[in-house]
């Protein structure tokens, strides 16, 4: 028996007196989302505006450089899934990130930044106190005031050195515990000795106090350390964004037909997963029901979706575009193809991480020499009877003047000048040692789609199609997101045609578009089978094979073929010719079909090409080239290229590349031209030459200044000035690169 009860929806929320019952305020929650396609300031503002207008959102903060958005929300009114859906409706692909992981990745950056700020503040204040002492006024100053200034400097310097110098102290302690020396050992020793000696001299009331040199040294060294740490944290953040692509919620279908939402990491092989149109697939599996177009660009690098139906295999990381499907999982979580690509890239990155920089090679013998010279100086002055104070001051001067700042700046100073020059020419370098490795390459390996080509299909036979037919096809194409439909629409707009979107258009996934005409019949835009071309004896086989899309007007008129091409970049052939003419080997590796790769290679002038290459096969080709003694530069843009980009000796990505490929590469080319690639190689080769010049300058500085310091002609303050002067000379030499005329 059923009862119909008229219920006041607000009754449960009122007290007995009729007053509204105050609901307890839920504690706001926050979520950090990775936004895959947030590429500009306009995107950032749109995301913030869309989420601010959504119900339950307390605050929104978007980060363009990290491609993330942090959202605080009321869990009673909304949730992470709803926020992701809201962004999807606005055209942004989002994935959830673990907040703790984000905090971990930024903790080291914040720690170094705090220490840098403390050192800078302390150095400025100590310098104010020291300037009156070291500017020639000491003889006119009362001893009590001079002593007060020294004690004030000590009160500032000692805790500053103890706090801000910890990164160097910890590094030095780690090296010493492992019975080895690094650059941080002489730095730490000089800091401790200079600070300790200055404290002793302050207690004794003497004039030679060097707190300003100690704190200033910490400040400038921390600047370089912070910049290096920021680069490492950025790379780690991109890896978290890739992991976010595997994170999310999936709809699982039970045996009784009921559905349940589960986290992607809880999915298991054998489960049936329902994937809606526009959703990302979180498992490798086989389609059980439904037919759709699959966007596999993240996996294959190809921009044209693949039509898939019952029995076809799909992979995690791909997107279901046009219709819902049910997938039976064959692999999930860490066993998917996406996870395998991640592991391949991590392995390749570790191999690249073993590359030893030229500065580290020099430091391998430099650090022991510094300590030996300091000890020899101290013992020699003690032996001649100068006393321990004079001996220690001279030894400290030797340690400071031999501080490897000029040596450490030899490569970075040139890199800064080189990256600034490249930035002005549309190239952004992302790896600290990328230019050094680029200078050694002799073979360039290109990906095809999105690298040599533009990555978007273009109508090739538009001049053969009447304006009436093109306009009618474009009217249907406005209702589809398929790349071919969008190419037809772009061609019609470029021809200046007035396009009126068609009504009541039905899209059949994997087939095409149709619209029934009120007077009878229907018009279609889609595959040859969909438009009945395969049964039309008037259409030649070669014409049917050459066309990718057909339009059939209402009333049974003749079908019109639409042929598309993924055109090469405008200067692709010229760039390849420039590289080949200067002695570089050029190879084309692509995951596309053989016919398309062969055509692109012939047009670009590339003789060595390989088609249908999976990510692991691309790495195999790179290893083959390496075994032949070649140093390879990989140029690619897709997620499937990321392992190869990381495995190659050097790598470059276009700006249109997915973020994980950009992070795996050493540099990013902006714009639609490939010509900046030749400029990058030329700059890299000059960078290496100027880096060696800077090493020579640093060596000459040490050859002149170290004997003077050991002979006692240099005080710790003069040593600090000389050390800074050597850095200035090295930097000035590096700046010449910004205006130099270069040829490949």
Question: For the chain, how long is the longest CA-to-CA vector?
Answer: 115
pLDDT at 389 over 80: no
Mean pLDDT, residues 512-525: 85
Q: Give the model's pLDDT for residue 471.
A: 92
Highest mean pLDDT among 124-138, 211-225, 286-300: 286-300
| Across 103-128, average pLDDT | 79
Would strands 325-332 and 585-589 be described as parallel, antiparallel, or unpaired?
unpaired
On whether the CB atoms of residues 518 and 539 are closer than 8 A, the answer is no
State the pLDDT confidence band at 178, using cuts at 50, 70 and 90.
Answer: low
Per-residue pLDDT at 180? 61
* pLDDT at 475 exceeding the cut of 60: yes
Average pLDDT over residues 428-439: 77
Where is mean pLDDT largest: 81-95, 166-180, 340-354, 419-433?
81-95
Q: How would residue 300 be classed by pLDDT, with cut points 50, 70 and 90?
A: low
In the block, residue with structure tokens 């039970």: 254
Structure confidence at residue 591 as a pLDDT band (50, 70, 90): confident
Question: What is the band of 7 on the pLDDT scale with cuts at 50, 70, 90?
Answer: very low
pLDDT of residue 181: 63
- Going by pLDDT thresholds of 50, 70 and 90, the confidence category of residue 398 is confident
User: CA separation (Å) from 585 to 172, 192, 632, 679?
Assistant: 44, 53, 9, 17
Whether 235 has a pLDDT exceeding 80, the answer reads: no
pLDDT band at 365 (very low <50, low <70, confident <90, very high): low
The set of residues, in sequence order, having a beta carbon less than 8 Å from that of 292 and lying 6+ positions away, is 277, 307, 308, 309, 320, 321, 322, 323, 324, 325, 509, 510
Q: Are 34 and 95 in contact, with CB atoms under 8 Å apart?
A: yes
Task: Spell 177-189 as b/e; 16+ CB within 10 A means b.
Answer: eeeebbbbbbbbb
Q: 366 Cβ partners below 8 Å, 6+ apart?
A: 183, 404, 407
What DSSP string runs through 485-540? HHHHHHHHHHTT----PPSS-EEETTTEEEEE-TTS-EEEEE-TTTTTGGG-TTS-
CB-based burial label for 442 (10 Å; 0-12, 13-18, 19+): middle
Residues 436-454 have a mean pLDDT of 87
pLDDT at position 682 is 92
φ, ψ of residue 671 in degrees (nearest 5): 85, -175
DSSP per-residue letters across 293-326: EEE-HHHH--SS-EEE-TT-EE-TT-EE-SS-EE
Closest CA relative to residue 183, chosen from 436, 435, 174, 692: 174
Other beta carbons less than 10 A from residue 501's beta carbon: 12
In angstroms, what CA-CA distances link 75 with 58, 72, 100, 261, 630? Answer: 11, 9, 19, 17, 57
Region 6-33 average pLDDT: 49
Domain ranges across the chain = 24-97, 107-245, 247-335, 403-455+566-744, 458-565
585-589/249-253 β-pairing: unpaired
pTM above 0.85, yes or no: no
Identify the residue whose tokens are 């903060």.
61
Flag whether pLDDT at 164 surpasses 70.
yes
Show which residues are catalytic.
447
Q: Please compute the mean of the pLDDT values over residues 595-620 and round it to a whole number.
A: 86
Residue of 286, 248, 281 whose CA lies nearest to 270: 286
Structure confidence at residue 579 as a pLDDT band (50, 70, 90): very high
pLDDT score at 234: 46
Q: Within 13 Å and on the Cβ side, how many CA atoms surround 260? A: 10
Average pLDDT, rounded, for the chain = 77
Which residues neighbour 160 within 8 Å (Cβ) at sequence distance 6 or greater? 118, 119, 122, 215, 218
Provide the pLDDT confidence category of residue 22 given band limits of 50, 70 and 90.
very low
Answer for the pair 505, 515: CB distance below 8 angstroms, yes or no.
yes
| Fold classification of 24-97 (topology level) | Alpha-Beta Plaits (3.30.70)
| H or E element at residue 399 | helix 388-401
| Separation of first and last alpha carbons in the chain | 89
Highest mean pLDDT among 9-13, 236-240, 518-522, 674-678: 674-678
User: The tokens 């050859």 sit on which residue?
Assistant: 703
Res. 232 pLDDT band, cuts 50 70 90: very low
Average pLDDT of the residues in 32-51: 69
pLDDT of residue 63: 61
Region of 18 please: left (phi>0), alpha (psi -120 to 50) or beta.
left
Token pair for 555: 């009333």
DSSP structural state of residue 140: G
Query: Is the four-CA dihedral 304, 323, 548, 613 of positive or negative sign?
Result: positive
Query: For tokens 């990510």, what's the residue?
Result: 615
Residue 182 clears pLDDT 80, i.e. is over it: no
- Residue 657: band (very low, low, confident or very high) from pLDDT cuts 50, 70, 90: low
Alpha carbons 442 and 685: distance in angstroms, whole number: 12
pLDDT of residue 41: 47
More confident residue, 564 or 224: 564
Q: What is the pLDDT of residues 411-428, one digit of tens each?
A: 666 777 777 788 777 777
Q: Which CATH architecture has domain 247-335?
A: Distorted Sandwich (2.70)
Among 40-44, 91-95, 297-301, 350-354, the range scoring the smallest mean pLDDT is 350-354
Residue 227 is predicted with a pLDDT of: 59
pLDDT greater than 90 at residue 713: no
What is the structure's pLDDT at 175? 64
Listed in sequence order, the residues at least 6 apart from 255 whose beta carbon sits closer than 8 Å to its beta carbon are: none
Average pLDDT over residues 185-191: 75
More confident call, 636 vs 518? 636
CATH dotted code for 458-565: 3.40.1110.10
Confidence of residue 163 (pLDDT cuts 50, 70, 90): very high
pLDDT for residue 5 is more than 50:
no
Q: What percent of the chain has pLDDT over 70?
A: 77
pLDDT greater than 60 at residue 605: yes
* Predicted confidence (pLDDT) at residue 292 exceeds the cutoff of 80: yes
Copy the structure tokens of residue 313.
């295999």
| 403-455+566-744 is classed CATH 3.40.50.1000 | yes
Q: Is the pLDDT of residue 132 over 70?
A: no
Residue 595, pLDDT score: 75
Alpha-helical segments (H) within 205-310? 211-245, 297-300
pLDDT at res. 514: 92
Q: Would you place residue 20 in the very low, low, confident or very high pLDDT band (cuts 50, 70, 90)?
A: very low
Q: What is the pLDDT of residue 38?
A: 66
The segment with the largest mean pLDDT, out of 23-37, 194-208, 535-549, is 194-208
Instruction: Report pLDDT for 99.
Output: 43
283-287 average pLDDT score:
92
Token code pair at residue 403 = 């501080």
- Residues in contact with 124: Cβ distance below 8 Å, sequence separation at least 6, in sequence order: none
From CA 638, how far away is CA 665, in angstroms rounded? 11
- Check: CB of residue 527 under 8 Å from CB of residue 551: no
Instruction: Write down the pLDDT at residue 445.
Output: 92
Going by pLDDT thresholds of 50, 70 and 90, the confidence category of residue 9 is very low
């Amino acid at each position: 028996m059923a009862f119909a009860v008229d219920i006041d929806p607000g009754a449960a929320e009122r007290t007995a007196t009729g007053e509204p019952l105050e609901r307890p305020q839920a504690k706001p929650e926050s979520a950090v989302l990775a936004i895959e396609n947030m590429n500009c300031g306009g995107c950032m503002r749109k995301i913030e505006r869309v989420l601010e207008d959504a119900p339950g959102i307390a605050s929104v903060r978007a980060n363009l450089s990290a491609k993330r958005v942090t959202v605080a929300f009321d869990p009673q009114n909304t949730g992470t899934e709803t926020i992701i859906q809201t962004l999807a409706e606005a055209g942004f692909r989002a994935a959830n990130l673990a907040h703790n992981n984000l905090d971990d990745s930024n903790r080291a950056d914040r720690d170094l930044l705090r220490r840098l700020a403390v050192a800078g503040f302390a150095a400025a204040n100590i310098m104010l106190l020291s300037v009156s002492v070291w500017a020639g006024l000491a003889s006119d100053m009362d001893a009590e005031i001079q002593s007060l200034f020294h004690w004030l400097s000590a009160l500032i310097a000692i805790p500053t050195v103890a706090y801000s110098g910890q990164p160097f102290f910890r590094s030095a302690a780690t090296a010493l515990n492992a019975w080895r020396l690094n650059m941080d050992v002489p730095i730490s020793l000089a800091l401790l000795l200079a600070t300790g000696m200055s404290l002793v001299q302050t207690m004794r009331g003497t004039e030679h106090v060097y707190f300003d040199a100690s704190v200033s040294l910490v400040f400038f060294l921390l600047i370089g350390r912070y910049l290096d740490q920021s680069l490492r944290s950025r790379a780690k953040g991109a890896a978290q964004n890739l992991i976010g692509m595997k994170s999310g919620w999936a709809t699982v279908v039970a045996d009784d037909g009921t559905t349940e939402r589960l986290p992607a990491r809880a999915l298991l092989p054998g489960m049936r997963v329902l994937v809606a149109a526009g959703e990302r697939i979180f498992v490798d599996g086989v389609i059980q029901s439904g037919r759709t177009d699959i966007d596999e660009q993240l996996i294959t690098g190809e921009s044209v979706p693949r039509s898939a139906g019952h029995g076809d295999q799909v992979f995690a990381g791909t997107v279901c575009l046009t219709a819902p499907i049910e997938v039976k999982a064959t692999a999930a979580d860490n066993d998917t193809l996406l996870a395998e690509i991640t592991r391949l890239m991590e392995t390749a990155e570790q191999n690249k991480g073993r590359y030893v920089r030229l500065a580290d090679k020099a430091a391998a013998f430099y650090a022991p020499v510094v300590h030996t010279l300091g000890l020899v100086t101290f013992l020699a002055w003690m032996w001649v009877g100068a006393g321990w104070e004079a001996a220690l001051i001279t030894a400290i001067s030797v340690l400071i003047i031999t501080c490897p700042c000029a040596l450490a700046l030899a490569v970075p100073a040139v890199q800064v000048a080189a990256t600034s020059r490249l930035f002005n020419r549309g190239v952004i370098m992302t790896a600290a040692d990328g230019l050094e490795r680029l200078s050694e390459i002799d073979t360039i390996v290109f990906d095809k789609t999105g690298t040599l080509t533009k990555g978007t299909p273009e109508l090739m036979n538009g001049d053969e199609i009447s304006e009436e037919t093109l306009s009618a096809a474009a009217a249907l194409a406005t209702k589809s997101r398929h790349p071919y439909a969008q190419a037809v629409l772009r061609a019609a707009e470029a021809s200046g045609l007035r396009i009126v979107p068609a009504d009541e258009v039905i899209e059949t996934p994997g087939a095409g578009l149709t619209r029934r005409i009120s007077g009878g019949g229907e018009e279609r835009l889609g595959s040859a089978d969909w438009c009945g071309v395969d049964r039309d004896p008037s259409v030649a086989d070669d014409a049917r094979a050459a066309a990718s899309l057909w339009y059939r007007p209402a009333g049974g008129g003749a079908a019109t073929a639409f042929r598309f091409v993924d055109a090469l970049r405008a200067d692709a052939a010229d760039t390849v010719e420039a590289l080949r003419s200067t002695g570089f080997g050029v190879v084309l590796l692509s995951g596309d079909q053989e016919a398309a790769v062969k055509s692109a290679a012939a047009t670009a002038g590339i003789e060595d090409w390989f088609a249908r290459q999976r990510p692991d096969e691309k790495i195999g080709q790179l290893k083959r080239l390496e075994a032949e003694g070649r140093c390879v530069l990989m140029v690619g843009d897709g997620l499937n290229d990321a392992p190869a980009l990381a495995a190659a000796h050097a790598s470059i990505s276009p700006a249109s590349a997915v973020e994980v490929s950009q992070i795996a590469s050493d540099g990013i080319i902006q714009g639609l031209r490939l010509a900046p690639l030749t400029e990058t190689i030329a700059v890299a080769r000059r960078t290496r030459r100027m880096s060696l010049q800077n090493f020579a300058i640093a060596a000459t500085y040490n050859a002149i200044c170290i004997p003077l310091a050991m002979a006692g002609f240099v005080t710790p303050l003069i040593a600090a000035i000389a050390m800074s002067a050597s850095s200035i000379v090295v930097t000035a030499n590096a700046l010449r690169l910004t205006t130099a005329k270069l040829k490949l």
